[in-house]
Structure 1
Amino acid sequence: MKAPLSKLRNLCFPLLCLPLTIYANQIEGLRDSRYCEILYSKSRLNLAVYNTIGLNDCPEANWGKITKECVKKETDSSFVKLNGPRYWMIDGMVNSQLVNPEKKVICGLAMREAGVLKLGITDLLTASEPYKQHQVDRQTTWIYKSGKPVYELIDPKGQVFVMQSYSTEKKPQTAETLEKLGTELKLPKGWQFRTGTLKQDTELKAIDNKATVIQDDFLNTYQLATHDFIN
């Protein structure tokens, strides 16, 4: 059964990427820094993920001029998703790798291939729904620093998802306004939103090179953790 790419039209893509060359093993100072992503089809269910991290902060003068038509023409792809701008809520990362560290200029914006999003039929059917899990192939370890705020979603099974980036696509948001996010989300039955301050530096790893991610109503992205960061 073929899954048409038209099903992807409203897909809200989570963060899939990282800002390092394949030779680097640590970067700090990422919190609240801006980046953008471009995703395009490599095959029917595989999407290449390119981002600006480590190259530029996705200048609005460049980003505002990029169109899906331009990307389709330059990449010879049938599906394109412009994802951004987004802002990190992690403080740094270690031991992370790009799919391809070579710089590529797409419609005037320098980017690198950071990941591959593999979609199944279930992903297509739930593509536009918040609070649905999607799995991403990537090798990443996020760092959250002591004394910094963290934001968590807890599902009915008690699984904890920690915010890794926020979006300004659906509504204006800043790192400061996230404190009120819990009063604005339309959480499914049994879900909880929680915020707190880290008491110690904490890592969030992709397990076996796979990250499970979800998004809330405003396209903010969270990754599944092995433990509660707050309690």
Structure 2
Amino acid sequence: MTDLAGKRYGEVLLVTPGEAGPQAAVYNSFPLNDCPDALWSALDPHAIAAENGAAAALLNGPRYWLMNSIEKEQQGPQVTKTFGGIEMILQATVLLSSMNPSPFTVNKVSRHTVFVFNAGQEVYELIDPHGKRWVMQTWSQVADPNLTREDLPGLASRLELPDGWSYQPRVLTDELRVDTRTEAAQVLQDNLTNSYSLET
């Protein structure tokens, strides 16, 4: 999947108990549709959970991709579901740190993908106290419905960063590939629910 940057989507996470804690099957509207606002706003997570035999349903969106392309290794046949008229594809499984993860808490996501950011693109990174970089993979209008990509370079003033963390934009001199085909991705969100992946 190419030419992703700026494309809108939404996700429904169906949460079930697991041996290692709550886990969620992640259904994503991309590339089937752009998560129409009228349908998305009408979704009822309690009804979705009941209809699908889940402990809970979490609505995650609307969101917008920041990578330029995704390389994905399909794991078996494609599974789709329709939620409130929005068709979605099962794209990943996430082991949740809790039912309501705190900002800057790491979750592990099995997605079998490579996220590709092209050379010359501006990316937005968190740098943790160990010097590891976390690249923003999607920006979110969950917490702030008016957040735009133009806001991202100056976002540091709005983030409630833990001690020792920093945020900065950077223009890539080389292609950046976040390769999680053979190991779980490490993903976290900031206090505005923008999502970041640990750079591999």
The range that moved more, 102-111 or 156-165, is 102-111
RMSD (Å) for aligned C-alpha atoms: 1.8
Rounded Cα–Cα distance in structure 1 between residues aligned with 2:32 and 2:193: 24
Give 1:54 shift: 1.3
Q: 1:147 is matched with which residue?
A: 120
Distance 1:114 1:98, change over 3 A: farther
Match of 1:177 among 151, 157, 170: 151
Q: 2:69 is matched with which residue?
A: 92
Instruction: Give runs of aligned pairs for residues 9-20 of structure 1, distance below 5 A.
Output: none
- How high is the sequence identity, in percent, across the aligned residues? 33
Distance 1:103 1:162, change over 3 A: same
**CA offsets, 1:10-64, max 9 Å, x none?**
xxxxxxxxxxxxxxxxx11100110000011243522211110110010112111
Structure 1 unmatched runs, 5+ = 1-26, 227-231
Structure 2 unmatched runs, 5+ = none
Count of equivalent residues: 196
Structure 1 runs of 4+ with >4 Å offset: none
Q: 1:217 is matched with which residue?
A: 191
TM-score, length-scaled by structure 1: 0.79
Secondary structure in 1 aligned to 2:149? coil
Q: 1:107 is matched with which residue?
A: 84
Instruction: Give runs of aligned pairs for residues 158-197 of structure 1, distance below 5 A.
Output: 158-171=131-144, 172-197=146-171
Q: Which has the higher strand share?
A: 2
Q: 1:41 is matched with which residue?
A: 15
Rounded Cα–Cα distance in structure 2 between residues aligned with 1:175 and 1:132: 23
Question: Is this contact kept in 2: 1:98–1:113, CA < 8 A?
Answer: no
**CA offsets, 1:45-99, max 9 Å, x none?**
2221111011001011211111113312321223111110011111111144367
TM-score, length-scaled by structure 2: 0.90
